[in-house]
């Protein structure tokens, strides 16, 4: 991604895409008709740890925002890393009516030196677990211990790595 590019999508409460900007389609290599009303995992990359998506959903469902590095897969099989901000969208009465995400070019040094090693560790932990449930629990414990050792929340940790 170029530094001035922004990928935007909006989803309903279930994570089905309701809006995507042109930059999304450019990178994802899909047409709108293939994406609107479809689960956002259409661009899920198989090498993304499930733990990260669990953290993402737990955070936004609780009404908080999250910043996270995500590796996505295009229709043509390419991959593209982004630094994503995902946040709930609220109605006038404050209830959550959907979700919104903006992504920009990741910091390559942070990606190579911190995020990719962390995600590789998480994938190893998940793959060495005996069940999908254990995999998520073990992944969450790993993140929890890491953040505890830093004395930071997940978002604080992301920004402490540098942007
Ligand atoms: C607003 C919003 C944006 C999302 N953006 C992405 C994304 O860019 N890439 C991705 O793989 N998942 C994204 N997700 C998470 C997906 O909904 C999904 O949880 C994830 O792809 C993992 O797929 P799975 O839940 O089927 O395992 C987003 C979710 C929301 C609510």
Mutational pocket test of ligand 1: of 35, 44, 45, the residue with most ligand atoms within 8 Å of the beta carbon: 44
Whether residue 28 has its Cβ less than 6 Å from ligand 1: no
Of 80, 52, 78, 77, which is closest to residue 66 (Cα–Cα)?
A: 52
Q: What is the pTM of this model?
A: 0.96
Domains and CATH numbers, the chain: 7-160 (3.30.450.20)
* Pairwise CA distance, residues 19 & 121, whole Å: 33
pLDDT tens digit sequence for 76-121: 999 999 999 999 999 999 999 999 999 999 999 999 999 999 999 9
- In sequence order, the 6+-apart residues with CB closer than 8 A to the CB of 134 are none
């Amino acid at each position: 991604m170029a530094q001035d590019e922004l990928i935007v999508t909006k989803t309903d409460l279930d994570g089905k895409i309701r809006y995507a900007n042109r930059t999304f389609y450019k990178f994802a290599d899909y047409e709108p008709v293939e994406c609107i009303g479809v689960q956002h995992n259409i661009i899920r990359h198989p090498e993304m740890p499930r733990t990260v998506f669990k953290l993402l959903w737990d955070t936004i469902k609780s009404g908080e925002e999250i910043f996270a590095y995500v590796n996505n897969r295009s229709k043509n099989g390419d991959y593209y890393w982004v630094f994503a901000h995902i946040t709930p969208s609220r109605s006038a009465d404050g209830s959550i009516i959907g979700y919104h995400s903006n992504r920009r070019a990741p910091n390559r040094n942070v990606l190579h030196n911190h995020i990719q090693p962390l995600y590789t560790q998480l994938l190893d932990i998940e793959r060495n677990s005996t069940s999908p449930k254990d995999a998520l629990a073990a992944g969450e414990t790993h993140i929890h211990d890491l953040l505890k050792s830093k004395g930071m929340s997940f978002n604080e940790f992301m920004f402490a790595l540098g942007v």
